[in-house]
Amino acid sequence: MSTSATSTAPSVAPMPSVSPRDLAPGVIGMALVGSSVTVSRSLVGAPLFASQAVRYAAAALILVALARVAGVPLLRPRGREWLWLAGIAGTGLVLFNVAVVRGVAHAEPAVIAVAVASVPILLGLVGPLLEGGRPSRRVLLAAPVVVAGAVLVEGTGRTDAAGVGWAALALACEAGFTLLAVPVLGRHGAWGVSVHAVWLGAVMLAGLAVFTERPVSGAASGAASGPAAFAAGLGSLTAGQWAAVGYLAVLVTAVAFLLWYRTVAAVGSGRAGLLTGVAPLAAAGAGMLGGGAAPGPAVWLGLAVVIAGLGLGLRGGDARA
C-alpha cells in the first residue's frame, strides 16, 4: 500500500492597503511629538527628572480621567505584563530623556535627531517578528527612504565617540517604546498601555529626581538631593517652564501616546514605524512658526522624500505569507 504526499505551498496574500482612519492618529501623534522640540527648549535650565516626573504624573491623571469619561476599562497588569510595561517606561520615557540630554553635550542636536529618525528600519525588521509575522519587503524598502528624507530635514552635525553612543542609545529607546508595547497591546489596548507606561515612568523619574537631582539655579542650588531638593527644583520653574510642562503633559504625552498606540494596534509596528518620519517635518514646521528661519531647499526635498517613502510603504500589494 502506497500513499502519495502532495506538498502545498503556503498561501500568499497581498498586504492590504491601510485605511487613512487607522493612520490619522499616528500621524497626529508624531506631529505632536515633533512640535515638542521647540517647546522643550524652554526646559533646558530646568531640573530634568523633576520636570519630567511632573509631566508624566499629570499625563497619567489626565488619561485615567478621560478613560473613565469614555467608559474604557483599565485592566490591572499581571505576570510578565509588568515587565513589558516597565520596559516601555524605563526605555521610552526615562532612558530616552537621559540619552538625549547627555547626548547633546557630546554631539550636535542633529546627530541625535538623525539617530532617532532611523527607528523605522528597526521597527520594520523587529516589529513583525514580535507580532508573529515576518517583515514586509515593501516596508523594508520604504524605511530607508523615510530615514533619508528625515536626514535631509534634520541635517547632520559634529560628534565624538560618546555622542555616537548616546545617539545609539536614544535610537534603541525610541524603538523600545513601540516594540515593547506589542505583547501587551492585545489585552490592554492603547488606553491601558498608555496609562500604565506613563505612571510607571513618573514613578521612576520621581525616584531619580529625589535621589540624584539637585536644583540647578537659585538659592537652593547647594542643597543636597532629597525630597526638599525635589520640591525646591519644582519651585524654581518659571511660568513659561510650567506652561511647557503642561503642553508636554497634555498633548505630547497623554494625547500623542494614545494616538500612537492606536495606530500601532491597527496597522502593526512595522508600518506604523514609517510614520515617525512625520516628527522631524513637524519639528521644522514648529520651528518656523516659532520665529525660526524658513526651511531651505534641503528641508523641502526631505519633505518630498519622506512623503514618497510613506506612499511606498503604506500602500498594499506586498505579498507575504
Task: Quick: pLDDT tens for 72-91.
Answer: 999 999 999 999 999 999 99
Q: What is the pLDDT of residue 8?
A: 44
Of the given ranges (119-123, 125-129, 214-218, 311-315), which has the lowest mean pLDDT? Answer: 214-218
What percentage of residues in the chain have a pLDDT greater than 70?
86
Q: Is the pLDDT of residue 215 over 70?
A: no
Q: What is the pLDDT of residue 290?
A: 65
Q: What is the pLDDT of residue 90?
A: 95
Q: Is the pLDDT of residue 270 over 50?
A: yes
Average pLDDT over residues 13-22: 68
CA atoms within 13 A on the CB side of 49: 25
The chain-wide mean pLDDT, for the chain, equals 82
Q: What is the pLDDT of residue 184?
A: 95
Interatomic CA distance for residues 168 and 118, integer angstroms = 10
Range with the largest mean pLDDT of 120-124, 134-138, 174-178: 174-178
Range with the largest mean pLDDT of 47-51, 125-129, 157-161, 197-201: 197-201
